Each structure stands twice: as structure tokens, then as C-alpha cells.
Amino acid sequence: GDLTEAIRQYSHAIAAEPTDVGYLVLAQALQQAGRLDEANAIYKRMARLSPNLAEAQKAAERYLAGK
């Protein structure tokens, strides 16, 4: 419910342990908060760097569905 807090926590989590899923969850939270430029930058970065982007997207969707 609190996107600002979620973004803060997701940012902290990926700083401690960067993962594809973590970045995608952060990007989705940023997108929901209307911070589209930041979200798009993460999506573009992940598209270039992630060897398993499709798998990470499915995992991020499952994670968010559980929230």
C-alpha cells in the first residue's frame, strides 16, 4: 500500500544483494508510483544485462501477487 516505503525497502534490498527479480520488483513499484523514467531505466538495464530476464519477470510477478 505504501509505495514510497516499498521503493525504499526494495532499493535497500538490491543494494545489499542485487538480483534480477529485485530490480524488476523495484521497477514495478516505481512505475506504480508514477516514476516512469526511473522504472524504464531499470527495465532497459535489465533487458541488456539479464541472462534470464523472462524467468526473473515471472518470479517478480509471483512475488508481487503474494503481496
Q: Provide the pLDDT confidence category of residue 36 given band limits of 50, 70 and 90.
A: very high
Q: Which residue has the higher pLDDT, 49 or 44?
A: 44
Question: Which residues 6+ apart lie within 8 Å of 61 measured at CB?
Answer: none
Model pTM above 0.75:
yes
Whether residue 53 has pLDDT greater than 80: no
Tell me the average pLDDT of the chain: 87
Percent of the chain clearing pLDDT 70 (strictly above): 99
CA-wise closest residue to 24 among 41, 4, 2: 41
Average pLDDT over residues 51-64: 78
The 10 Å CB-count burial string (b at 16+, else e) for 9-19 is ebeeebeeeee
